[in-house]
Structure 1
């Protein structure tokens, strides 16, 4: 395998000149650069990533830390960002933190951040849906920029997110347009900022439209919690007290559909149900689920553009505008009967 000295000999220049060409030094004359490029191509020379990092003081390495587990939203954000980072020529080191009691989770976070900093990452992206994890990271002496994929605003970090509030408004307005005058909300955990934003959007839309908004029922994002809450809602639906439900994610909506099916509450004939996220399976629920789609690929690009602006990358661009979540209307919602 050719090395830098082989390239220098082939091009008739010093190895320092080859290094300057490889690292994009503008002081190299065009003719010299052309000879070096030709030698690199002829010898199939591959510059050392470590050497380039030392020369440029840029490692092109990023850290990604997530406490969201396998849930669809956090895992989709991870995938979207990782893809955007690789397209931009960065390598991503990923650390995932298992949900645990506070002390155990904080210890895992400290160990993960220390490990990422030990790899000389230029920035750390945090996908931590709960504020406690973000506060723990902010309390650490982190010497690189922190970017949080979260709807909250925190001192010392930059937040980038999709508009959870707007998505919840879309779902609520859709149910209202079908004639439903009361919308029950099956909310996510109270310590997740996305859940709180979706709840806030539902409340805002109901208040503005003059709809009844009963006290929300709170699940844990799982189909099992939706099924458990759905059993109680089925009793109320059987008495005609519930005609519309906005679920904070599709998995809880799936549990709700199961409970209603067992109790022979027709959806959407008697109760309309909307979800949130548009997981790939939602179009195959029975009935196919009306839900809110989020563009995680666009979010990944926005996070990456934000990172580049913070690390001072020469190729940094203005962060792209992330589209507002999109309402996907399927067969689980219908005009209120009667």
Structure 2
């Protein structure tokens, strides 16, 4: 640090402020110090910084699987927000989202020295049964923290309502639903909201059909739906299953949206390039990640627990070519 200070023509205290990403340094001075660091190959001593500040500059993330679009985008949102605040990410995957696996993963993260932990609760988990060591801030993403932890999630129920109402407003007598797995938090909320929306509208509630988030499961269910002449509108719980449904309908000779309208959920980047372009519900994963990190940093910096409860991230309906007015029987 003294060598950097001499080369940059500043005090060691200024070098320390730059190394710790403090804001009370003029931009020209900061650039000069950073240039000196690069020239000398200077790397801050993380252990010494942790002893001095009580922080490690790392946020831990526990996730069940990264082969699902929602989990990957959630992790990306958290990583982007953490990096903007000068924090890195330490990821621990679990083979099953059970209490024992989560407790073990939490222990591994805390032994690696993290300042806080985000649990991506893609499957239903009873937070009351977790036995997490005290003292490390925790935020639940894509799930419900109950009375134990603050939580952040997209407006799953609101999105399903928007999708179902959109199809009803187009004149369809009812809406069939391709749901996600029953043990998924988001799938449960979307399924329940779809049903409640139909019931409030006084419409028949068809049999729910469960997929596993993959296009293949949507394709298999789509083959079944294509054989039912009364099916005119389908709400799939994610875009990948919607893609499979559309493929099966096309193969059966049922036009989308001429014969059957299809709406998805997520707004994957590829959804605009489906044939036809997919009407879907857009989730703001980046905003969700920012809120998770903001909640953790509030606890880390203020050294006080965050307010419990759910922070809901708004969603929006994106209308494209896969939905159209009902043509009648």
Q: Normalising by structure 1, what TM-score? A: 0.82
- In the alignment, is residue 139 of structure 1 matched against residue 136 of structure 2? no
1:290 aligned to 267, 274, 279, which one?
279
**Is the contact between residue 68 and residue 128 of structure 1 (CA under 8 Å) also seen in structure 2?**
no
- Measured after TM superposition, the shift of residue 179 of structure 1 is 0.3
Task: Specify whether residues 324 and 311 from structure 1 end up closer, same or farther in structure 2 by C-alpha distance, changes over 3 A only.
Answer: same
2: distance between equivalents of 1:38 and 1:327? 44
Which structure has the larger Rg over C-alpha atoms? 1
- In the alignment, is residue 213 of structure 1 matched against residue 205 of structure 2? yes
Cα deviation 1:51-87 (Å, max 9, x = unaligned): 2221111112110111132111111000011000000
Q: What SS class does the counterpart of residue 327 from structure 2 fall into?
A: coil
Task: Specify whether residues 55 and 233 from structure 1 end up closer, same or farther in structure 2 by C-alpha distance, changes over 3 A only.
Answer: same
Task: Specify whether residues 195 and 12 from structure 1 end up closer, same or farther in structure 2 by C-alpha distance, changes over 3 A only.
Answer: closer
- In the alignment, is residue 267 of structure 1 matched against residue 256 of structure 2? yes
- In the alignment, is residue 163 of structure 1 matched against residue 155 of structure 2? yes
- In the alignment, is residue 228 of structure 1 matched against residue 220 of structure 2? yes
Alignment length, in residue pairs?
Answer: 314
Task: Specify whether residues 106 and 119 from structure 1 end up closer, same or farther in structure 2 by C-alpha distance, changes over 3 A only.
Answer: same
Q: Name the structure 2 match of 1:91.
A: 88
Q: Name the structure 1 match of 2:47.
A: 50
- Measured after TM superposition, the shift of residue 48 of structure 1 is 2.5
After the TM superposition, which residues 242-253 of structure 1 pair with which residues of structure 2 at under 5 Å, given as runs? Answer: 242-253=231-242
- In the alignment, is residue 328 of structure 1 matched against residue 325 of structure 2? no
Gaps of 5+ in 1: none
Flag the structure with more relative contact order, 1 or 2, with Cα contacts below 8 A and sequence separation at least 6: 2
Q: Name the structure 1 match of 2:296.
A: 307
Q: What SS class does the counterpart of residue 159 from structure 2 fall into?
A: helix
Task: Specify whether residues 133 and 281 from structure 1 end up closer, same or farther in structure 2 by C-alpha distance, changes over 3 A only.
Answer: farther
**Is the contact between residue 250 and residue 277 of structure 1 (CA under 8 Å) also seen in structure 2?**
yes
1:196 aligned to 168, 188, 191, which one?
188
2: distance between equivalents of 1:330 and 1:70? 26
Cα deviation 1:313-335 (Å, max 9, x = unaligned): 59xx99xx865211111111110
1: distance between equivalents of 2:119 and 2:186? 14
Q: Name the structure 1 match of 2:61.
A: 64
**Is the contact between residue 151 and residue 162 of structure 1 (CA under 8 Å) also seen in structure 2?**
no
After the TM superposition, which residues 164-183 of structure 1 pair with which residues of structure 2 at under 5 Å, given as runs? Answer: 164-183=156-175
- Measured after TM superposition, the shift of residue 188 of structure 1 is 0.8
**Is the contact between residue 64 and residue 93 of structure 2 (CA under 8 Å) also seen in structure 1?**
yes
2: distance between equivalents of 1:64 and 1:278? 24
Task: Specify whether residues 38 and 245 from structure 1 end up closer, same or farther in structure 2 by C-alpha distance, changes over 3 A only.
Answer: closer
Cα deviation 1:70-118 (Å, max 9, x = unaligned): 111111000011000000111111122235xx7xx66654443222111
Q: Name the structure 1 match of 2:111.
A: 118
**Is the contact between residue 276 and residue 321 of structure 2 (CA under 8 Å) also seen in structure 1?**
yes
1: distance between equivalents of 2:163 and 2:95? 31
**Is the contact between residue 80 and residue 298 of structure 1 (CA under 8 Å) also seen in structure 2?**
yes
Gaps of 5+ in 2: none
Task: Specify whether residues 121 and 41 from structure 1 end up closer, same or farther in structure 2 by C-alpha distance, changes over 3 A only.
Answer: closer
2: distance between equivalents of 1:284 and 1:115? 42
